[in-house]
Amino acid sequence: MTRVRDLLGISAASLLRYGIKPDDEVLYAIEVLESRAPHVARLLRTVVGERAS
């Protein structure tokens, strides 16, 4: 699966405050962010969906 770093580049470091490391998988990050930062989880879901199209 895609890593957060692959999807967001340098911006992946901004998710460290939520406990997400740049090398974490995107699906794991979305699961964790659902409770900690739902707005960011929605953003990641949208970006992943657009890349899959």
What's this model's pTM, rounded to 2 decimal places? 0.88
Domains identified in the chain, total number: 1
> pLDDT by residue (tens digit) across 6-52?
999 999 999 999 999 999 999 999 999 999 999 999 999 999 987 76
> Does residue 51 contact residue 7 with C-beta atoms inside 8 Å?
yes
pLDDT band at 53 (very low <50, low <70, confident <90, very high): low
The encoded tokens of residue 5 equal 């770093």
Cα dist from 7 to 2, 25, 27, whole Å? 7, 10, 11
Expressed as residue numbers, the domain containing 8 is 4-52
